[in-house]
Amino acid sequence: MDFKVFLSHKRTELRGLTSINLQLFADNTGKTEKATPKKRQDLRKKGQVMQSREVTANFILLVTFLSFRLLGNYLYKEMKSVFNFFIGESATYNLSDPSEIMHVLTFATVEIAKMAAPFFIIAIVVGVLGSYAQIGFLFTLEPIKPKFSHINPLKGLKRLFSARSLFELVKSIAKVIIVSWVAWSSIQAEFLNFTKLMALEMGQIVVYILDAAVGIGIKICLALLAISAVDYFFQWRQYEKDIRMTKQEVKEEYKQLEGNPEIRSRIKQKQREISMRRMLKDVPKADVVITNPTHYAVAIKYEPQKRPAPYVVAKGVDFMAQRIKEIARENKVEIVENKPLAQTLYQTVDIGEVIPPELYKAVAEVLAFVYNLHGKSPQTAH
């Protein structure tokens, strides 16, 4: 008999009822494949990461020159203090007395440290940030361990005539040409101002020359950073090429991961979590949740225009059963207690499957009651 017959019969029996206590209702051999995440992680542990030291070094140099401009007044005052001391006050010291010599040396050391400290700190901070931006936080002693390959003459000869060596040669030549051109063009631009220096005092001349030198240094650093960008791209391409894998290596790695119980368990857990989230999203669409009432909960939906019989949209035991009932209450989905029906549905019907014919009558009774309770029909229930 068709399910609609059962549902129609039970609705007729319950027609006219407006309220009831629901708790009483019962997945090549050449190195052609990109490196897998696992291989990248293993290489990272060994310290084999993609990094362009040119970028970090040139950025440190640029920031250092910019610091000379920003801290120029501070540097000028400290240098003036040291100059005045050695020209004036040091003449009052008895340089044959070891204690007074130590005093002069201590003063000079402290003043030099005060002048150098800001630039030293800035260089360290920029260097750390530059490396961190490229590779993140990484501490490993693997790169400094002795390896035979580092002293193998054959491999050394191979590296000498490699594409990397050729690129380094071209890069060095380009750096010399570009740095020379930038420096010479900058100095030429200052030629007209050199004649005006005659009218300035010695201190002003020194300040002007230092400022011009810093300006030239900044221009050179910007040119070097442009070369560093090309170097970074080359290093990245070379690194990706060096860590490629063969198809067989990828297959072997996949087998190892699949054979790892911990990995398998983690994958299954993720799959369960995704399945549960998807299932709980369908509870508000259900027509009724049938419970036993503590341990089991099964959400049923009936769409006669799509399915020949009601089907299970969600089910669970214990905690999951309580979560299904909680969502049902929040979305005003009726909860009906029927111990044997809830247990049978949970044990025999999977999520997404229609109920078997032997359960038509029991489920029809529940749905007929719910539809009559709200004055709805299966077509208009949702």
Residues 53-79: tens digit of each pLDDT: 788 888 888 888 888 888 877 877 777
Residue 381 domain-assigned (yes or no): no
| pTM of the shown model | 0.48
Q: What is the DSSP string of 75-97?
A: HHHHHHHHHHHHHTGGGGS-TTS
Binned at pLDDT 50, 70 and 90, residue 25 comes out as: very low
Residue 145 domain-assigned (yes or no): no
- Asked if residue 74 and residue 218 are part of one domain, the reply reads yes
Residue 32 domain-assigned (yes or no): no
Residue 254 domain-assigned (yes or no): no
Question: Given a cut of 70, is residue 14 above it in pLDDT?
Answer: no
Residue 90 domain-assigned (yes or no): yes
Over residues 255-310, the pLDDT tens digits come to 776 666 666 677 777 777 777 777 788 888 888 989 987 788 999 998 888 888 89
CATH of the domain at 348: 3.40.1690.10
- In the chain, the number of structural domains is 2
| CA 175 – CA 186 distance, rounded (Å) | 16
- Asked if residue 292 and residue 170 are part of one domain, the reply reads no
- Asked if residue 217 and residue 69 are part of one domain, the reply reads yes
Least confident range of 4-8, 110-114, 169-173, 359-363: 4-8
Over residues 205-263, the pLDDT tens digits come to 777 777 788 888 888 888 888 888 888 888 888 888 888 888 888 887 777 766 666 66
Residue 42 domain-assigned (yes or no): no
Cα-based distances in Å from 117 to 7, 59, 124, 294: 87, 18, 11, 71
Least confident range of 33-42, 128-137, 141-150: 141-150
- Asked if residue 350 and residue 229 are part of one domain, the reply reads no
- Asked if residue 81 and residue 7 are part of one domain, the reply reads no
Residue 252 domain-assigned (yes or no): no
- Asked if residue 136 and residue 220 are part of one domain, the reply reads yes
- Asked if residue 313 and residue 172 are part of one domain, the reply reads no
Residue 268 domain-assigned (yes or no): no
Average pLDDT over the chain, rounded to whole?
Answer: 77
Over residues 32-44, the pLDDT tens digits come to 788 877 888 877 7
Who contacts 78 (Cβ-Cβ below 8 Å, separation ≥6)?
111, 114, 115
- Asked if residue 128 and residue 78 are part of one domain, the reply reads yes
- Asked if residue 202 and residue 68 are part of one domain, the reply reads yes
Q: Which of 188, 216, 242 is the last residue of a domain?
A: 242
Residue among 36, 99, 52, 81 nearest 248 (CA): 36
- Asked if residue 330 and residue 212 are part of one domain, the reply reads no
Residue 124: give the domain boundaries: 49-140+150-242
- 310 prior amide bond cis, ω within 30: no
Q: Which of 210, 242, 274 is the last residue of a domain?
A: 242
Q: Which of 242, 269, 299 is the last residue of a domain?
A: 242
- Asked if residue 208 and residue 85 are part of one domain, the reply reads yes
CA angle 194, 197, 203 (to 5 degrees): 130
- Asked if residue 16 and residue 64 are part of one domain, the reply reads no
